[in-house]
Chain A
């Protein structure tokens, strides 16, 4: 099976969670660590994926979240190893400790699922189970939770300062991110930010085909999109419907987007007709 050639352990993505096992690192040739002291380099898989190859997602990896990183600005800068981060909220992209084995055509970066973590002192309890942790006064806890509850109970979006934090989830990923939609001016910007945060997916291709226009996507192009990659970017709008990102003008999108989801394209196929319908009814 292909997965055994992938040498998953060697290229392990760390999110810095407790109890991640520290695998033996193998230093190797041209793909070895640039800095032996443990600075990290984020992998690029764009060049490595063969034509027509699915980008780094292996069905064989069951409970692990797999994605490919992006080295466009992967060098570690002076402020302490912050790697690629497209968003203003200063989220640090999961950092990769690279000791790529040259043989593997797709060095896959793996994030250990939180639940399977073990560490020196036994299993890490999830935060929700620990009384009084993190140490925040009850008053503050209650105030903040009622504050976000104020803004539309069903919504994941937190409104403040006219910034619009929405949660971004990716199917199969154990972690969500938050992005502030207000900091992006177009789908392209959002797309490249998310790309840095997660992996390459549909919207990237969208841009290159120059599909995005004020009129929305044409049906045929949408189909191209969906067949071209394994994942698509979708969002939940104010009505609670899940729509494909890119089918409405940007401002309309930011006003109606409640949360984002990077969805398996197989599941998204059903969205396309609905998206076109909504689009048509709006125009």
Chain B
């Protein structure tokens, strides 16, 4: 009997590893990969040996050494560093998330590294040079919201990465000393497919750019910066009519009627454009030139373009396939009505404030605009909306119209502002959101909120993964409701709420299954944080103490799970308890 059983079991184990590897290469999602690695030791090994892409969403949750030991054959790495609130200056600049140690480990163990995507990491020029020299096969570089480098570092990438296909520099704190980096691409270099330097301000050598675009026949994405004029853009488009994504830069120039006709016909030859951005200084006169290129447009990013409602209306009439739209609130409610009328397929809307720090002027969009969009765009599932006023009733109607929200980020810009019609808290608004939108994954709340809002969230938001809270809640109970009620919560960011130690400790059971918790300007004490650190040794409980105000208070607390232990690179202002 026993021998038969053992034969049976060995028969199942003799499934060749190579086949497992082949099967696993078809598993692209990280979640699936993580799941298969848990099945048994064989599968764990098959996964680790065949995994070529890793995504580390908190660079301190694991160390470079642990990573390279487990996954020896990685070619593509995504690394995210600082807590998201660093985007809003809440994290000291020397906090950490330097990529260099990772690059050193990769140079040693991943010499065939092809792709590096960094978000909120500190990247120095030395690191960029090191990258350029260490990885001969390097193909794709993406830097988003990073800082620490200058355009000098980009020179190294341009000079030495001979197989580069993607060069994507987005919204970084980069010190732009000159545009000469672009001239460092060799004349023999032809492999570029993605070039995005919209974020950089210095003027680049246009001739060099023109030659580059001309010889890179596979170029699909081109996003130029503001220094490129309309006439220059036209020249580039003539060379690259195959573009799928275009960032136009300033789109400003004085044109004659004849030149306008040329420009228009140039855009008509761009039949593949699906994404359009820039248009920073575009005027109503020349905007119509792009209409011929908008037939297949699915993403329109006007968030750096102060467009009015009439221009938007006209433009949208030419974009029947639009799925994602980013605008400034200069379009006003009237512009959003135009969105509702013209974009039945719209899935994502982001409305950014054009003048967010002007307290004294009533401006921008209101609940009316959001309502208008919801009536016209039933497929809407992602919204980011900055406004000065909102009502509970409006939000309730909005989610009735669009029950499929997965991402609902509403920012009423005045902290603790109630429903401006009823003067009541905005609890019912977010209650309606979580009750109606069962697929909700991400929620940002704002306005005057009591614990009731969080009771609703805890009770109904069963798929919620990311929650951002500011200036809200009436007691510890608020946070407690969330910690106890939301089973899938992964990231929780809280600022300026009166949640205290009891609230913090109510999440003891949850933090290891979460990526991170951020709490700043709440009512936490050092003792409370120490208690948490003591009870949960596999968490890093970091307190950022910037001024010597009060040693017993913990003004900024960042809690995250890690297998790497307390970090060794904390600056003086950061204490790991």
Contact = CB atoms under 8 A, between A and B. Distances in A.
A139 B353 CA distance: 14
Given A80-B393, A131-B88, A135-B87, A176 B306 contact: no
B422 interface: yes
A174 B360 contact: yes
Contact of A130 (B287, B309, B386, B415): B415
B90 to A, nearest CB: 5
A17 interface: yes
A161 interface: yes
B166 interface: no
B440 to A, nearest CB: 19
B171 A139 contact: yes
A205 interface: no
A131 B199 contact: no
B333 interface: yes
Contact of B285 (A88, A159, A162): A162
Given A81-B394, A88-B334, A134-B411, A177 B363 contact: yes
Most chain B CB within a 10 A radius of its CB, from A85, A87, A161, A177: A161
A95 B362 contact: no
Interface string A6-22: 00000000111111101
Contacts of B420: 14-16, 95
B369 A90 contact: yes
Nearest to A132: B88
Given A119-B448, A137-B171, A138-B87, A161 B307 contact: yes
A266 interface: no
A133 B283 contact: no
Given A80-B391, A139-B172, A176-B360, A124 B415 contact: yes
Given A90-B365, A90-B366, A176-B360, A137 B145 contact: yes
Nearest to B287: A161
Nearest to B474: A120
B420 to A, nearest CB: 2
A89 interface: yes
Contacts of A85: 333
A165 B357 contact: no
A128 B359 contact: yes
Nearest to A164: B308
Contacts of B305: 160-161
Nearest to A82: B368
Contacts of B495: 132
Contacts of A95: 420-421
A159 to B, nearest CB: 8
Most chain B CB within a 10 A radius of its CB, from A125, A138, A160: A160
A135 B88 contact: yes
Given A140-B352, A167-B361, A121 B308 contact: no
Interface stretch (A101-109, A178-186, A242-250): A178-186
Interface residues of A, number: 66
B528 interface: no
A26 interface: no
Contacts of A183: 308, 310
B452 interface: no
B311 interface: yes
A160 B309 CA distance: 12
Contacts of A163: 284, 306, 308, 310-311, 330
Interface in A25-73: 38-40
B427 to A, nearest CB: 13
Interface string B7-32: 00000000000000000000000000
A170 to B, nearest CB: 11
B43 interface: no
Interface string B305-333: 11111110000000000000000001011
Contacts of B419: 16
Contacts of B388: 16
Most chain B CB within a 10 A radius of its CB, from A38, A90, A121, A126: A90
B306 A158 contact: yes
Contacts of A94: 362
Nearest to A136: B356
Contacts of B391: 80-81
A87 B85 CA distance: 35
B287 A39 contact: no
Contacts of B310: 88, 163, 183
Interface of B: 85, 87-90, 145, 171-173, 199, 280-285, 287, 303-311, 330, 332-336, 352-369, 371-372, 375, 386, 388-389, 391, 393-394, 397, 411, 413-423, 448, 468, 470-471, 474, 495-496, 498
26 contacts: A14-B420, A15-B362, A17-B414, A79-B371, A80-B367, A82-B366, A82-B367, A87-B332, A90-B369, A94-B362, A95-B420, A119-B448, A127-B359, A130-B415, A136-B352, A136-B353, A136-B356, A140-B352, A144-B355, A159-B306, A160-B281, A160-B283, A160-B330, A163-B310, A176-B361, A182-B308
The 10 closest A-B pairs by CB, nearest first: A16-B420, A90-B333, A132-B88, A160-B306, A90-B332, A80-B394, A163-B308, A89-B332, A82-B368, A176-B361
Given A18-B415, A178-B363, 7 more contacts: A90-B368, A120-B416, A126-B359, A128-B359, A138-B89, A139-B145, A140-B303
